[in-house]
Amino acid sequence: MKVRRELAICAGLLLVGSCGNIGAPPHAGQPTVQAQSMAAMLVDIDQVREFVYGGGSQDAARNAADDLVSWSARMVELFPPGQASTDYVDMSPQRVRDAPAAMSRTAESLRAAVRTGNRAIIGDQLARAEKDGCGACHLSNTR
Protein backbone atom coordinates (compact mmCIF):
# COMPACT_ATOMS: atom_id res chain seq x y z
CA MET A 1 0.00 0.00 0.00
CA LYS A 2 2.84 2.39 0.92
CA VAL A 3 4.64 1.68 -2.37
CA ARG A 4 1.45 2.37 -4.36
CA ARG A 5 0.99 5.75 -2.60
CA GLU A 6 4.62 6.71 -3.22
CA LEU A 7 4.30 5.70 -6.85
CA ALA A 8 1.14 7.81 -7.21
CA ILE A 9 2.88 10.81 -5.62
CA CYS A 10 5.90 10.45 -7.93
CA ALA A 11 3.66 10.10 -10.98
CA GLY A 12 1.72 13.19 -9.91
CA LEU A 13 4.91 15.20 -9.46
CA LEU A 14 6.18 14.13 -12.87
CA LEU A 15 2.87 15.11 -14.45
CA VAL A 16 2.86 18.55 -12.81
CA GLY A 17 6.54 19.09 -13.59
CA SER A 18 6.02 18.32 -17.26
CA CYS A 19 3.44 21.10 -17.53
CA GLY A 20 6.02 23.82 -16.91
CA ASN A 21 6.59 24.74 -20.54
CA ILE A 22 3.08 24.26 -21.88
CA GLY A 23 2.15 27.31 -23.89
CA ALA A 24 5.63 28.87 -23.64
CA PRO A 25 7.26 29.88 -26.91
CA PRO A 26 10.17 27.63 -27.94
CA HIS A 27 12.66 30.44 -27.31
CA ALA A 28 11.43 31.18 -23.76
CA GLY A 29 14.33 31.67 -21.42
CA GLN A 30 16.77 32.35 -24.27
CA PRO A 31 18.48 35.74 -24.53
CA THR A 32 17.10 38.11 -27.14
CA VAL A 33 19.25 39.31 -30.01
CA GLN A 34 19.36 42.67 -28.21
CA ALA A 35 20.73 41.02 -25.06
CA GLN A 36 23.22 39.07 -27.14
CA SER A 37 24.38 42.27 -28.83
CA MET A 38 24.87 44.02 -25.50
CA ALA A 39 26.81 41.04 -24.16
CA ALA A 40 29.03 40.98 -27.26
CA MET A 41 29.67 44.72 -27.03
CA LEU A 42 30.61 44.39 -23.37
CA VAL A 43 33.09 41.64 -24.26
CA ASP A 44 34.57 43.98 -26.88
CA ILE A 45 34.89 46.84 -24.39
CA ASP A 46 36.49 44.51 -21.84
CA GLN A 47 38.94 43.22 -24.46
CA VAL A 48 40.07 46.76 -25.25
CA ARG A 49 40.29 47.53 -21.52
CA GLU A 50 42.48 44.45 -21.06
CA PHE A 51 44.92 45.81 -23.63
CA VAL A 52 44.94 49.26 -22.01
CA TYR A 53 45.91 47.79 -18.66
CA GLY A 54 48.65 45.58 -20.10
CA GLY A 55 47.06 42.15 -20.05
CA GLY A 56 45.93 41.77 -23.64
CA SER A 57 47.28 42.01 -27.14
CA GLN A 58 46.80 44.87 -29.53
CA ASP A 59 45.56 42.42 -32.18
CA ALA A 60 42.80 41.22 -29.83
CA ALA A 61 41.93 44.84 -28.99
CA ARG A 62 41.88 45.72 -32.70
CA ASN A 63 39.53 42.82 -33.46
CA ALA A 64 37.32 43.81 -30.52
CA ALA A 65 37.19 47.44 -31.70
CA ASP A 66 36.24 46.28 -35.21
CA ASP A 67 33.49 44.10 -33.73
CA LEU A 68 32.25 46.99 -31.59
CA VAL A 69 31.99 49.19 -34.68
CA SER A 70 30.06 46.44 -36.45
CA TRP A 71 27.58 46.01 -33.57
CA SER A 72 27.23 49.77 -33.25
CA ALA A 73 26.18 50.01 -36.90
CA ARG A 74 23.27 47.66 -36.08
CA MET A 75 21.85 49.67 -33.17
CA VAL A 76 18.95 51.15 -35.16
CA GLU A 77 18.04 47.69 -36.46
CA LEU A 78 18.25 46.11 -33.01
CA PHE A 79 16.56 48.97 -31.15
CA PRO A 80 14.13 50.62 -33.60
CA PRO A 81 13.29 54.15 -32.40
CA GLY A 82 9.52 53.65 -32.52
CA GLN A 83 9.70 50.44 -30.52
CA ALA A 84 12.70 50.93 -28.21
CA SER A 85 11.23 53.89 -26.34
CA THR A 86 8.18 51.71 -25.63
CA ASP A 87 10.16 48.61 -24.64
CA TYR A 88 12.60 50.58 -22.47
CA VAL A 89 10.45 53.02 -20.52
CA ASP A 90 13.47 54.94 -19.19
CA MET A 91 14.46 55.85 -22.75
CA SER A 92 12.85 58.91 -24.25
CA PRO A 93 12.20 58.87 -28.00
CA GLN A 94 14.94 61.51 -28.38
CA ARG A 95 17.51 59.38 -26.54
CA VAL A 96 16.57 56.37 -28.66
CA ARG A 97 17.06 58.44 -31.83
CA ASP A 98 20.40 59.93 -30.72
CA ALA A 99 22.00 56.85 -29.14
CA PRO A 100 22.95 54.89 -32.28
CA ALA A 101 24.89 57.82 -33.74
CA ALA A 102 26.64 58.41 -30.41
CA MET A 103 27.60 54.76 -30.15
CA SER A 104 28.81 54.57 -33.75
CA ARG A 105 30.82 57.78 -33.42
CA THR A 106 32.55 56.71 -30.21
CA ALA A 107 33.15 53.16 -31.47
CA GLU A 108 34.83 54.53 -34.60
CA SER A 109 36.99 56.85 -32.49
CA LEU A 110 37.92 53.97 -30.20
CA ARG A 111 38.89 51.85 -33.19
CA ALA A 112 41.12 54.63 -34.50
CA ALA A 113 42.72 54.97 -31.06
CA VAL A 114 43.34 51.22 -30.81
CA ARG A 115 45.13 51.32 -34.14
CA THR A 116 47.64 53.79 -32.69
CA GLY A 117 48.72 51.26 -30.06
CA ASN A 118 49.11 54.08 -27.52
CA ARG A 119 47.53 52.80 -24.31
CA ALA A 120 47.00 56.30 -22.86
CA ILE A 121 45.14 57.49 -25.96
CA ILE A 122 43.13 54.27 -26.08
CA GLY A 123 42.26 54.57 -22.38
CA ASP A 124 41.00 58.13 -22.86
CA GLN A 125 38.91 57.10 -25.85
CA LEU A 126 37.63 54.02 -24.02
CA ALA A 127 36.36 56.27 -21.22
CA ARG A 128 34.63 58.50 -23.81
CA ALA A 129 33.08 55.48 -25.53
CA GLU A 130 31.72 54.19 -22.24
CA LYS A 131 30.39 57.59 -21.15
CA ASP A 132 29.13 59.05 -24.42
CA GLY A 133 28.50 55.89 -26.48
CA CYS A 134 27.31 53.21 -24.07
CA GLY A 135 26.15 55.92 -21.71
CA ALA A 136 23.80 57.35 -24.33
CA CYS A 137 21.47 54.51 -23.32
CA HIS A 138 22.84 53.18 -20.06
CA LEU A 139 23.28 56.43 -18.12
CA SER A 140 20.45 58.72 -17.17
CA ASN A 141 20.42 62.24 -18.52
CA THR A 142 21.23 63.52 -15.04
CA ARG A 143 24.78 62.09 -15.01
Domains belonging to the chain, first-starting first, are 33-138 (1.20.120.10)
Question: Given this model, what pLDDT does residue 143 score?
Answer: 46
Question: Given this model, what pLDDT does residue 82 score?
Answer: 85
The parts of the chain modelled with pLDDT lower than 70 are 1-27, 140-143
Question: Given this model, what pLDDT does residue 111 score?
Answer: 98
- φ/ψ (deg, to 5) at 54: 90, 5
Question: Given this model, what pLDDT does residue 27 score?
Answer: 61
Cβ(103)–Cβ(131) below 8 Å = no
Torsion from C-alpha of 48, 53, 54, 58, nearest 10 degrees: 20
Q: State how far the Cα of 85 lies from the Cα of 79, in Å rounded to an integer.
A: 9
Cβ(83)–Cβ(89) below 8 Å = no
